[in-house]
Each structure stands twice: as structure tokens, then as C-alpha cells.
Structure 1
């Protein structure tokens, strides 16, 4: 089932349950999908990879906002953002653990022959491509830095 159909099904459930947080989150996904589809103008639609990137972007936006609100002591604004992020994350593929990400990073470093921080871009590009949608870029970056330094 496509992401758009899954979102629509979840929206129906949220409407029936009168779950405003879920409904707001699902409407954000639907809106972003429509915007991205009309942006391309090709009429072909979005690939699954594009959909995953879009959902990751929405989750990151919510988490970043929650972090900013948390720093300012505004838990009343941070909590709804985190709740929305949790709902939106349900539409992402299964996320890998740090140990699983580390294994892929080590394999990539060995395959590329990376020896230091100068090779970080090369390693990051390959690992990010391989783990698209399964791992957060920040987590990958931290692990690559740790392994290369």
C-alpha cells in the first residue's frame, strides 16, 4: 500500500477516535506529499525513496522544534511536537540500532580504505545511500567520526 493510502486510512481512524494530535500529524504528511508531488510537475508521482526522505524531514523538523522549545523551557510546546514526531515515525521503515549502523560503517570504511577524517565525505555518502530511510544522518555522522578519528 502506498504511503498516501496508508496516511488516508490512518486519518479515518484518527477522525473516528477524535485524536487531534494524530490527525494534525497525518494532515502534515498528506500536505507534504501533495506539495512534493505538485512540485515535480512530472505527474509521475513520488518514488518510495522520495516518500521516505519526506517523512524523515517531517520527523526531523518536529524533533528540532521540540529541542528548541525544550531549551527555552516551553514543555507545553515541546510535548506536542514530540507526540507528532512519534506518530509520523510510524511511516518510516524499521530503524537500525547503533550497533547495526556501526557494522555497516566499519564495512564501508574497510571497502573504501578510508584512513582518516579526510575520507569522511566518501564514507558518509556511501553509508547514507546504503541505509537510506533506516538510520538518521546525525547518528551515521557521529559513528563515522568516531571510527575515523
Structure 2
């Protein structure tokens, strides 16, 4: 079953079970997916691939993480708790992310393959790594690792 179809099925189930929090998050994801689908249309209908769906989910998860940080720094623990719950629901649909150490191993290998030695080569390395790790690691983690490895 396609990831988008799974989200839609879970949305229906959340309605039946009257799970208000889960329902709110899944409706939000549905809206983001439909928005992405509309933007991808050329002529007629377009459906999202699992990769495109994962992109939308990763963006939503990133927004929740950023909100959590901001709410924590602002002392709004009530809002932090809500964002964490939403993030947990979204992460259930995302593939398992690579750990920082796994990203570091891949980065070292690519740096060696490309012959990168200085920070000036960071753009070249990041381009290749982000293509390879798309949907498997967050860009901020990859960037941090590459900076450390090239320093």
C-alpha cells in the first residue's frame, strides 16, 4: 500500500475511533499532501510517489521540531507537549532515519571518493550526499557531519 493511501486509511480509522489528536494531525498531513499533489500537476491528475510523500512528511516533522525548540526556549511546556505528540504521529510514517554515526560513515566514504579536502569542497560533497541520503537523514545532520569531517 502506498504511503499516502496508508495515511488516508489511518485518517478514516481515527475518525471512527474518535481519536481527536491523531485526526487533527492526519488531516493536516492530508492537506499538505493535496497541496503538493496540486503543485505537481501539469495536465489532468497527478499522484504523489512515496518519495514525494516522504518529502512532505519530513518537512512537517522538521516544522514540529523547530516549534518544539522555540516553545522550549519560550517556556511554553504546554505547547511543547502538543508538538511532541504531533511529531510522534508523523514519525510513524517516516522511514527509520540514519544515526549520526551512520551518516558520518557514508560522508567519509563520499569525501574520499570525491577527493574533498577543504571547506571549499563542502558544496560538492553535500550535493552528492543529499541525493544519496534523501529521506534517510536530515539535511542539518548531514551538513553538521560534513563540516566536522572537512574541518
TM-based fold match above 0.5: yes
Segment of structure 1 superposing worse, 80-89 or 18-27: 18-27
In structure 1, the residue matched to 2:87 is 85
1:75 to 55, 61, 77: 77
Indicate yes or no: 2:138 matched with 1:136.
Answer: yes
In structure 2, the residue matched to 1:38 is 38
How far residue 28 of structure 1 moved from its aligned partner, in angstroms, is 1.2
- Aligned partner of residue 115 in structure 1, secondary structure: coil
Q: Distance between the aligned counterparts of 1:10 and 1:125, measured in 2?
A: 35
Maintained 8 Å contact 2:107/2:129: yes
Cα deviation, 1:87-124, whole Å, max 9, x if unaligned, reads 10111112111121111000100010000111111111
Give the alignment's TM-score, normalised by structure 1.
0.94
Q: Structure 1: state its 5+ residue gaps.
A: none
Aligned residues: 149
Q: Distance between the aligned counterparts of 2:73 and 2:146, measured in 1?
A: 27
Q: Give the alignment's Cα RMSD to 1 decimal.
A: 1.2
Q: Distance between the aligned counterparts of 2:75 and 2:48, measured in 1?
A: 38
In structure 2, the residue matched to 1:2 is 2
Maintained 8 Å contact 2:104/2:145: yes
In structure 1, the residue matched to 2:11 is 11
In structure 2, the residue matched to 1:115 is 117
Cα deviation, 1:58-89, whole Å, max 9, x if unaligned, reads 00111111111111100111111111011101
How far residue 41 of structure 1 moved from its aligned partner, in angstroms, is 2.3
Q: Structure 2: state its 5+ residue gaps.
A: none
Q: Distance between the aligned counterparts of 1:138 and 1:13, measured in 2?
A: 34
